[in-house]
Amino acid sequence: MKLHPRRKSNPDEYIAVSQKDKKYKILNPFSEEIIINSKKTDIKIFESDDGFTYLLYKNKKYLVEITEKSQNKYTVMINGVSYSFTVESPISYMRKKYLDKQQVQCKIEKVNAPMPGKIIELLVEENAEIKEGEPIAILEAMKMQNEISSHVSGRVKKIHVRQNDSVAKGELIIEIER
């Protein structure tokens, strides 16, 4: 067994990973000088007197709100647009990449309800071929209709809900076989 010298990690180093696996290495996130992907970045985060949080970037002020936080997963709304990402330490990021390599890719993808609501319409049938991004169901939540799209291409293996069913957040709606 060959031992490799261990790289000493910076305690103020984090890695933000977007849903599309884009990686942002962030140094000194709580200081005046934030470095993102080896570039000094002029970003300031501050709370105003009215209690709102803002991000100042390139002399533009953006309203920021953390809409969801679960362990190291965050959803942040900036000027009305939601961004989801995870925040990892360098060691947890390396462990995550290692485990992803070891894991056999699953042939079945699950589409879950993004929020509680009522299934207004199913736009696909079992055994139908669908493409990534194609709408598969309409979910009504808080009197607004939301289109749920497939995040993979494949064949609809099983539909777990029917029209007019109420669903909870995270409830399985459809299984897609790649």
Convert the pLDDT of each residue in 23-42 to its tens digit: 888 887 767 778 888 888 88
Number of domains in the chain: 2
Average pLDDT of the residues of the chain? 85
Convert the pLDDT of each residue in 93-130 to its tens digit: 888 888 877 665 668 889 999 899 999 999 999 999 99
pLDDT of res. 145 = 92
DSSP string covering the chain = ----PPPPPPTTEEEEEETT--EEEEE-TTSSSEEETTEEE-EEEEE-TTS-EEEEETTEEEEEEEEEEETTEEEEEETTEEEEEEEE-HHHHHHHHHHHHHSPPPSEEEEE-SSSEEEEEE---TT-EE-TT-EEEEEEETTEEEEEE-SS-EEEEEE---TT-EE-TT-EEEEEE-
Domain assignment of residue 149, yes or no: yes
Residues contacting 101, CB < 8 A, separation 6+: none
* Domain that residue 59 falls in: 13-102
Measured over the CA atoms of residue 109, residue 113, residue 114 and residue 120, the dihedral's sign is: positive
Residues 44 and 113 reside in one and the same domain = no
Residues 78 and 115 reside in one and the same domain = no
Domain assignment of residue 7, yes or no: no
Q: Quick one: average pLDDT of 167-178?
A: 92
Whether 9 shows a pLDDT value over 70: the answer reads no
Residues 65 and 122 reside in one and the same domain = no
Provide the CA 32 distance to its chain's centre, in angstroms: 27
Residues 81 and 114 reside in one and the same domain = no
Residues 128 and 156 reside in one and the same domain = yes
> What percent of the chain is predicted at pLDDT more than 70?
90
Residues 69 and 38 reside in one and the same domain = yes
| Residue 148: both structure tokens together | 């749920």
Confidence of residue 10 (pLDDT cuts 50, 70, 90): low
Contact 57, 46 (CB under 8 A): no
Query: Residue 139's CB: how many other CB atoms inside 10 A?
Result: 21
Residues 47 and 74 reside in one and the same domain = yes
Domain end, chosen from 102, 136, 152, is at: 102
